[in-house]
Structure 1
Amino acid sequence: MSAPQASVAVIGGSGFYEFLDDAREVEVETPYGAPAAPIAVGEVAGTPVAFLPRHGTGHAFPPHLINYRANLWALRSLGVRQVLAPCAVGGLRAEVAPGDLVVPDQLVDRTLGRVQSYVERGAVHVPFADPYCPTLSQALAAAEGVSLGGTMVVVEGPRFSTRAESQHYAAQGWTLINMTGHPEAVLARELRMCYSAVALVTDMDAGVESGEGVGQAEVFATFARNIDRLKGLLAGVVPYLPGPGAGCACASWADGIELPYEIPGGAA
């Protein structure tokens, strides 16, 4: 039996391990090893959707040990062209608060040792000035209670920031802090997929407030309280997404370029 296909994927973050009812689980082999978990393929209001828990079943993989290349390649091999990526974030500035849903429009990479490209030879430089697909971002931000804009800085983890680090990030004007948004976004771009993050603010980072700082229990508890809201947002957006390539260059940036890596399913 051939693997089911889906044009849209949701990558679930911390505490977001299930999304689809009556889904079929698919084991996918990739040139980069195994993805975090089998991929569930089902439907949302008639739209085929793939779901992958970013950290694996039961949060098996911490942020710095996720096989991001395998995750994105596996989704692309099932036909995925548009990726919605919910994630938990800390707030760095007073304009956001716990419980807010934010679609960032910029990303800053402060990770250290992650493999962040499929390019292993040759001269191929992916354009990344605008790291998120504008079409997907606008679709997510059109939902009630979701704001658009802000810079998300991605740190290595798994530790939380010191107060000095947090204050430094805030002083740069950055809004959100996260541990998994990179290299996920750039790998999606290299595979010619549309990608947008949607961030749930679970806490204010250590440099924003006094006290003991950020704790894991606080983050997970806030995410758990908002998981149904986040699932409802995604389920409401998926059926109305415009097709890939509508108003963006996510799929066409490599037209005329010979890529030194395989894109499963081809460029189309």
Structure 2
Amino acid sequence: MSRPPSASQSAADLGVIGGSGFYSFLDSVEEVQIDTPYGPPSDRIAIGMLAGRRVAFVPRHGRDHRHPPHKIPYRANLWALRSLGVRQVLAPSAVGSLTTRYGPGTLAIPDQLVDRTSGRAQTYYDEGAAIHLSFADPYCPAGREIAVSAAREAGWSPVDGGTLVVIEGPRFSTRAESRWYAAQGWTLVGMTGHPEAVLARELALCYTPLCLVTDLDAGIEQGEGVTMDEVFRVFGENIERLRTLVADVITSLPADRTCPCSRSLDGMKPPIELP
């Protein structure tokens, strides 16, 4: 049953933003409806226990997949997680590969991001004061290191590093666009990694991507190109393994943060009160 959160019942240590297949990795789940200054999040937030830690899960597209990538309420999702006490976020997602080296089923933990979206609200600080945050390294270094290590221990051969280019969607790339991205040296293409990462940084949250390659992008693959059925099929075939990895990473993340993410707002005066 959905109900407003209380500090005792709904505080969470860690957050996961992902697909509906991640519900079942939590125990003793309760669902809460949270309102934010940016509207409601994608859906009710599930909060449960995992290895003695409270984890909040946001279904990125909504549990019925009703939000296309360019319409996801990104600001509400991250704000809601922070309001629950979350300070570290894991973000599993399906991506395309821009190189034949990384075929379907490959796990990648990129260290760079390129924004090719348009029209998405991508800041909390668009009035009241100019807040300029460092985003040279968009992902949490501690989270990435732990994710790579946990993946190797679980039997993956993860790609450590690389650049994720985020496109507007909801359509897939043309062959020309795909080849252009690859020519820049970018290795992965997705539709949801931005503005999630930058909004997390603006809230001083750690954000770690876990990218599962579901297809070779249009400029790399021969034939008809990428299809939604193909993406869903490969993601479904790997969801249990990816879910286990998320649990392993959560178990390994430190309770106390020493990474730069926690200090991203030091010396600044945000024009809004953060939760």
More deviation, 93-102/188-197: 93-102
Unaligned runs of 5+ in 2: none
Q: Could you list the structure 1 runs, at least 4 aligned residues long, displaced by more than 6 angstroms after superposition.
A: none
* Map of 2:252 onto structure 1: 240
After TM superposition, give the deviation of residue 128 of structure 1 in Å: 0.3
* Map of 1:51 onto structure 2: 57
Is 2:62 the partner of 1:76?
no
* Map of 2:222 onto structure 1: 210
* Map of 1:188 onto structure 2: 200
Is 2:113 the partner of 1:107?
yes
Is 2:183 the partner of 1:176?
no
| RMSD between superposed Cα atoms in Å | 1.3
Identical-residue share of aligned pairs (%): 59
* Map of 2:141 onto structure 1: 134
**Residues 19-45 of structure 1 deviation map (CA, whole Å, 9 limit, x = unaligned):** 423211011110000000111111111
Cα distance change on mapping 1:209 and 1:220 into 2, 3 Å: same
**Residues 36-83 of structure 1 deviation map (CA, whole Å, 9 limit, x = unaligned):** 011111111111111111001111100000000000000000000000
What amino acid does structure 1 have at the position aligned with 2:10? P
After TM superposition, give the deviation of residue 254 of structure 1 in Å: 1.3
Cα distance change on mapping 1:167 and 1:17 into 2, 3 Å: farther
Q: Find the aligned partners of 1:112 and 1:14 in 2 and give their Cα distance.
A: 26
Cα distance change on mapping 1:244 and 1:216 into 2, 3 Å: farther
* Map of 1:61 onto structure 2: 67
What amino acid does structure 1 have at the position aligned with 2:42? A
* Map of 1:231 onto structure 2: 243
Is 2:40 the partner of 1:29?
no
Does the CA contact (< 8 Å) of 1:15 and 1:223 recur in 2?
A: no
* Map of 1:254 onto structure 2: 265
Q: Find the aligned partners of 2:34 and 2:109 in 1 and give their Cα distance.
A: 29
Cα distance change on mapping 1:176 and 1:46 into 2, 3 Å: same
Q: Find the aligned partners of 2:183 and 2:265 in 1 and give their Cα distance.
A: 36
Relative to the length of structure 2, the TM-score reads 0.93
What amino acid does structure 2 have at the position aligned with 1:77? S
2:48 aligned to which of 24, 42, 45? 42
More deviation, 12-21/81-90: 12-21
Aligned positions of 1:84-99 closer than 5 A:
84-99=90-105
Relative to the length of structure 1, the TM-score reads 0.95
Q: Find the aligned partners of 2:255 and 2:14 in 1 and give their Cα distance.
A: 10
Q: Find the aligned partners of 1:104 and 1:201 in 2 and give their Cα distance.
A: 12
The structure where helix makes up a greater share of residues is 2
What amino acid does structure 1 have at the position aligned with 2:143? L
After TM superposition, give the deviation of residue 120 of structure 1 in Å: 1.8
Is 2:165 the partner of 1:153?
yes
